[in-house]
């Protein structure tokens, strides 16, 4: 029985396939003393239309360096959907002598196409592995099941991939049986850990004849991540007497701790729900990494997906009769508190204004303002409003939601339902329509504001940027730019300190002199 560690390949979903040389060198050196047979380094790929890092393309100099440092068999993987037999020579000939196995990640319905790809790869004398996704749904693919018998000729491993992290040991046993009836190709198992079943599913697979298991250090990998290398090795050490150098293993695990703190992979309630119900994880991973979606909003969205509901309901369109010269857009940064007195003084002087709370976080500091107030309801903001306005007894603002249909659900407190509206299509961006900033800018447009004054959009210092903060920061920069390009007729400026580079900056106090 063999072990394949694919930390760099699968962990790349978090780092966009860039890793520091120090981390990788330590990884390779450590594995020289640990019982794994294969290390999967990354992808080889035709050019894609976005930034993807070094380990997504695995240039030859990188493979040479890794080959020189590692005593293990090395593996790269191809995405079947992006690679055709005619690409094989260009992508893989340079890897001869550096790489031992090429894996193919594929949707089961394209097994026929993948067989041709594998035949082409075999001509270059690589070992070939099929990593076949969506194992929990295989029994629904009749064509796929019929084609499994051809796998023997071209593949060295036939992997069952638990893409959703939702299969149980009983499913593993049943699927192995189904595969064994059709092929003698050695079986592999790649388990995700949404339900913390990675270990027991893998041990069950081994017990029922699987010959190779995928693992990653600390479980680093897409979404909730994988079976942890250290967990499988510890279990096999205690149960089967597998020799493990725990000093080396613990140094290796430690070296991923900093990245783990930065990206927070691992399971949590949203991943559990998506796993248990075989819902796609791509959305969940995006939502979890964006700081303004609480677990609560994500769960609501997943429940909607499970029920096949795009959103709970269509609301009346936001078609206000009022018009304002100035829209004060207030974000959730500390400067929204720090300069609240200044902003309130500005509103006293300029009553032809309104407040738009992009986030309600600072709303309590603006309760006394004598101008109409609008609240952008994204994700969990409804709960926040209930807290700030103590169950919304005296609340007289208006709330706006993203355009229908909404992917993410939104909590709307019952007491303010009559004052809640949804926005019409947003013209200045086709994506990010469900973000605080897009809503606030669209609301300003609907209110015919000539001037948009941004408050409490502090942004972040580069040095302290977490992945979530970077993502939020980039989204806001993008939206400010897109808005200015589409609406040059509107003046937009930050009037409190900001780290956003795409916003002109003035000062609230210059208007109070």
Which position among 85, 94, 169, 372 is part of the footprint of its own copies (CB under 8 A)? 169
Stretch that binds its own copies, among 46-54, 293-301, 385-393, 470-478 (CB under 8 A): 293-301
Q: What is the DSSP string of 228-286?
A: BHHHHHHHHHHHH-----HHHHHHHHHHTHHHHHHH--S--HHHHHHHHTT--SHHHHH
Based on the shown chain and the rule CB under 8 A, indicate whether residue 272 belongs to the binding site for its own copies. Answer: yes
Helix axes 21-31, 246-255, angle to 10 degrees: 160
Query: In which region does residue 58 sit, left (phi positive, over 0), alpha (psi from -120 to 50) or beta (all else)?
Result: left
Coil, helix or strand at residue 9? helix
If residue 481 lies in a helix (H) or strand (E), which one and from where to where? helix 467-486
Stretch that binds its own copies, among 174-182, 299-307, 361-369, 491-499 (CB under 8 A): 299-307
Which position among 135, 148, 197, 329 is part of the footprint of its own copies (CB under 8 A)? 197
Cα–Cα distance measured from residue 4 to residue 1, given in angstroms and rounded to the nearest whole number: 10
Based on the shown chain and the rule CB under 8 A, indicate whether residue 285 belongs to the binding site for its own copies. Answer: no
Query: Residue 217 or residue 347: which is nearer to its own copies going by CB?
Result: 217
Based on the shown chain and the rule CB under 8 A, indicate whether residue 199 belongs to the binding site for its own copies. Answer: yes
Shortest distance, position 166 Cβ to its own copies, whole Å: 8
Cα–Cα distance measured from residue 249 to residue 34, given in angstroms and rounded to the nearest whole number: 7
Query: Residue 296 or residue 350: which is nearer to its own copies going by CB?
Result: 296
Based on the shown chain and the rule CB under 8 A, indicate whether residue 1 belongs to the binding site for its own copies. Answer: no
Based on the shown chain and the rule CB under 8 A, indicate whether residue 277 belongs to the binding site for its own copies. Answer: yes
Query: Residue 226 or residue 443: which is nearer to its own copies going by CB?
Result: 226
**Number of other residues whose CB lies within 10 A of the CB of residue 46:** 13
Q: In the range 219-238, which residues lie near its own copies by CB under 8 A?
A: 228, 230-231, 234-235, 237-238
Query: Residue 295 or residue 478: which is nearer to its own copies going by CB?
Result: 295
Shortest distance, position 230 Cβ to its own copies, whole Å: 5
Cα–Cα distance measured from residue 226 to residue 192, given in angstroms and rounded to the nearest whole number: 4
Q: In the range 421-450, which residues lie near its own copies by CB under 8 A?
A: none
Cα–Cα distance measured from residue 289 to residue 287, given in angstroms and rounded to the nearest whole number: 5
Stretch that binds its own copies, among 300-308, 445-453, 457-465, 497-505 (CB under 8 A): 300-308
Cα–Cα distance measured from residue 101 to residue 60, given in angstroms and rounded to the nearest whole number: 15
Query: Chain-centre distance of CA 134, in angstroms?
Result: 18
Cα–Cα distance measured from residue 348 to residue 366, given in angstroms and rounded to the nearest whole number: 12
Contacting positions for its own copies (CB under 8 A): 166, 168-169, 193, 195-200, 203, 228, 230-231, 234-235, 237-239, 246-247, 249-251, 253-254, 268-269, 272-273, 276-277, 294-296, 298-300, 302-303, 383, 411
């Amino acid at each position: 029985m063999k072990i394949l560690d694919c930390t760099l390949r699968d962990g790349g979903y978090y780092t966009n396939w860039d890793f520091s040389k120090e981390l990788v060198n330590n990884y390779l050196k450590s594995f020289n003393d640990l019982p794994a047979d294969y290390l999967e380094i990354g992808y080889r790929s035709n050019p894609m239309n976005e930034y993807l890092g070094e380990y997504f393309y695995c240039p030859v100099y990188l493979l040479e360096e890794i080959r020189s440092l590692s005593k293990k068999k090395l593996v790269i993987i191809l995405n079947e959907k992006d690679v055709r037999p005619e690409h094989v020579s260009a992508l893989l000939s340079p890897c001869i002598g550096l790489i031992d196995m090429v894996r193919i990640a594929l949707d089961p319905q394209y097994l026929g196409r993948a067989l041709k790809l594998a035949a082409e790869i075999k001509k270059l004398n690589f070992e070939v592995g099929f990593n076949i996704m969506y194992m929990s749904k295989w029994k629904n693919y009749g064509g796929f099941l019929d084609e499994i018998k051809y796998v023997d000729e071209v593949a060295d491993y036939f992997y069952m991939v638990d893409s959703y992290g939702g299969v149980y040991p009983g499913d593993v046993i049943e699927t192995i049986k189904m595969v064994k009836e059709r092929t003698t190709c050695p079986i592999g198992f790649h388990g995700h850990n949404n339900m913390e079943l990675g270990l027991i599913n893998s041990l069950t697979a081994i017990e029922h004849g699987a010959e190779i298991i995928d693992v990653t250090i600390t479980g680093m990998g897409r979404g909730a991540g994988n079976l942890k290398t250290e967990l499988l090795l510890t279990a096999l050490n205690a149960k089967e007497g597998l020799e493990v150098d725990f000093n080396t293993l613990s140094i290796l695990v430690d070296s991923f701790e900093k990245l783990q703190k930065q990206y927070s992979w691992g399971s949590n309630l949203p991943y559990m729900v998506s796993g248990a119900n075989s819902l796609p994880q791509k959305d969940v991973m995006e939502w979890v990494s964006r700081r303004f979606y609480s677990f609560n909003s994500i769960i609501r969205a997943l429940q909607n997906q499970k029920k096949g509901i795009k959103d709970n309901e269509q609301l009346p369109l936001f078609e206000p009769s009022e018009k304002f010269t100035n829209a004060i857009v207030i974000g959730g940064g500390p400067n929204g508190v720090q300069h609240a007195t200044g902003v309130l003084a500005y509103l006293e002087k300029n009553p032809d204004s309104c407040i738009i709370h992009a986030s309600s976080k600072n709303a309590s500091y603006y309760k006394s303002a004598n101008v109409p107030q609008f609240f952008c309801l994204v994700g969990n903001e409804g709960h926040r409003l209930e807290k700030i306005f103590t169950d919304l007894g005296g609340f007289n603002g208006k709330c706006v939601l993203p355009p229908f249909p909404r992917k993410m659900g939104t909590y709307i407190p019952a007491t303010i339902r009559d004052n809640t509206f949804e926005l019409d299509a947003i013209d200045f961006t086709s994506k990010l329509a469900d973000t605080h900033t897009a809503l606030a800018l669209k609301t300003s447009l609907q209110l015919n504001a000539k001037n948009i004054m941004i408050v409490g959009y502090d942004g972040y210092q580069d040095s302290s940027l977490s992945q979530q903060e970077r993502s939020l920061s980039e989204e806001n920069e993008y939206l400010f730019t897109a808005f200015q390009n589409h609406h040059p007729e509107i003046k937009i400026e930050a009037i409190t300190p900001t780290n956003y580079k795409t916003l002109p900056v003035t000062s609230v106090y210059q208007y109070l002199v």
